[in-house]
Structures are given as structure tokens and as C-alpha cells.
């Protein structure tokens, strides 16, 4: 059984997609063992509580400096003894100590088709604002493994979403969530739980058949 820890910051719709996929059997052989939020007001924590999953808050505001926060985050993640850490709308730069401790075991959902519209400043609604400002006709979402560089690790899954005439950033964000994010993240966890994902020496992922 794959032990999964999910890191969140906000509404938790991606967390909810994972919870629902486990409950419906779309994700087999995995269980969410802990939800960790940097934001005590994140509705994602309420979603975890309603699903009977332990939710905790590790807020930078509760520590005298960033290093102390980083170490506390690492400690709370280690305590859960996860096989996989999922960043689901997590708005905190993952500290190097966490990446070192869980190298190759952290995935993130990015609301664009990496390498487009990613990196510093590309998060949440800002991503969709820039997609619209550029006049892109297709966007989407990406699940990738996390390394020291922002939105840079091996790409695992991607799904394209049409940009429509008259889209606002909010409308486009919702479509990307519904048509891509909420599908890709559960699928990625399921593939990893089935042992079907391999990363080669060039940092390219390969998904084996069932």
C-alpha cells in the first residue's frame, strides 16, 4: 500500500480529486496518510477532516525564521513515513532538505504544459493570465517530479485543454482544473502505486503497461 502525504495551501480541489479517486477505487493500493498545509485557513484541511484524514498546519508564521520552518516541515513529513509526497496546490517553495530526504518521491501538479508558462511567478491564476495575454490557443496541466529547480523535474503526465474565445483567467483556470488537473493527479498516483513509472538516466519518465 503506497503511503501518500499531500501538501496543500488553499481550496484543496486537487486533494479532493485524490480523496474521491481513492474512495471510488480509481486509485488502488494507495492511502493518504497525512495532509500538510502551510495555511491554517486552507479549506483543504476541512476536506481532509471530512474524509477522516489527519490534517496538520506547518505555517512559516509560527517560526522565527525560514530554516526553522523548513526543518519543521521536513519533520512533519518524515513523521508520516510517506512513500510519495504530492504537492496539490502547495504554494511554498519546497526546501532542499525535503527534496534531499524524498528525492524522486515528490510530484507536483502545474496548471500549464511545462516547459511553457512555468517557473518563477507562474502559479495559480497568474499562469492563466499569462496564457491569455500571450494568446495561446492550447494550455493544460502537467504532473512532474520535483527537484531543486522550480517546475523542472521529469514530466510524468500532461493533458491539453482548449483556450476559448472570451475566456477570463478564472474561467480558464476552472476548465484546466476540471479537464486536466483533477484527472492527471489521481492518475499519476495510481500509476506510481502500481509500480508502473520509471525515470531513465536522461530524466525521461516511462510508463509500463498494466
Active site residues: 110
Minimal distance in Å, beta carbon 19 to ligand GRF?
A: 11
Q: Output 19 or 78, the one with its CB closest to ligand GRF.
A: 19
Residue 86: name the closest of 15, 179, 158 by CA.
15
**Binding test (CB under 6 A) with ligand GRF, winner from 13, 70, 139, 190:** 13
Task: Return the beta strands (E) in 15-166 as ranges.
Answer: 30-37, 55-57, 84-87, 106-110, 138-145, 155-162
When asked if residue 186 is in the footprint of ligand GRF (CB under 6 A), the reply is no
Q: Is 12 in the site for ligand GRF (CB under 6 A)?
A: yes
Torsional sign, CA 93, 95, 101, 104: positive
Q: How many residues make contact with ligand GRF (CB under 6 A)?
A: 15
Q: Taking the C-alpha atoms of 135, 117, 84 and 68 in order, what is their torsion angle to the nearest 10 degrees?
A: -130
Q: Which is nearer to ligand GRF, 133 or 202 (CB)?
A: 133
| Footprint (CB under 6 A) of ligand GRF, residues 27-46 | 44
Minimum CB distance to ligand GRF smaller for 110 or for 193:
110
Q: How far is CA 2 from CA 85, 103, 119, 130, 194, in A?
A: 10, 16, 29, 36, 9
- Please, which of residues 126-185 interact with ligand GRF by CB under 6 A? 173, 181
Question: What residue ranges bind ligand GRF (CB under 6 A)?
Answer: 8, 10-15, 44, 88-89, 109, 111, 124, 173, 181
Amino acid at each position: 500500500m503506497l503511503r501518500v502525504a499531500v501538501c496543500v495551501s488553499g481550496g484543496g480541489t486537487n486533494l479532493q480529486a485524490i480523496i474521491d479517486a481513492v474512495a471510488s477505487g480509481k486509485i488502488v493500493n494507495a492511502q493518504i496518510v497525512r495532509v500538510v498545509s502551510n495555511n491554517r485557513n486552507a479549506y483543504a484541511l476541512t476536506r481532509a477532516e471530512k474524509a477522516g484524514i489527519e490534517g496538520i498546519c506547518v505555517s512559516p508564521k509560527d517560526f522565527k525564521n525560514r530554516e526553522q520552518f523548513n526543518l519543521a516541515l521536513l519533520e512533519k513529513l518524515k513523521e508520516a513515513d510517506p512513500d510519495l509526497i504530492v504537492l496539490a496546490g502547495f504554494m511554498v517553495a519546497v526546501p532542499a532538505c525535503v527534496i534531499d530526504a524524498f528525492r524522486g518521491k515528490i510530484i507536483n501538479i502545474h496548471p500549464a504544459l511545462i516547459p511553457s508558462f512555468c517557473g518563477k511567478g507562474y502559479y495559480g491564476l497568474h499562469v492563466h493570465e499569462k496564457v491569455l495575454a500571450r494568446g495561446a490557443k492550447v494550455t493544460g496541466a502537467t504532473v512532474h517530479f520535483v527537484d531543486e529547480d522550480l517546475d523542472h523535474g521529469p514530466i510524468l503526465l500532461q493533458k491539453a485543454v482548449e483556450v476559448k474565445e472570451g475566456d477570463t483567467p478564472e474561467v480558464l483556470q476552472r476548465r484546466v482544473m476540471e479537464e486536466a488537473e483533477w484527472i492527471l493527479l489521481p492518475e499519476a498516483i495510481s500509476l506510481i502505486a502500481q509500480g508502473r513509472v520509471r525515470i531513465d538516466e536522461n530524466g525521461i519518465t516511462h510508463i509500463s503497461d498494466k
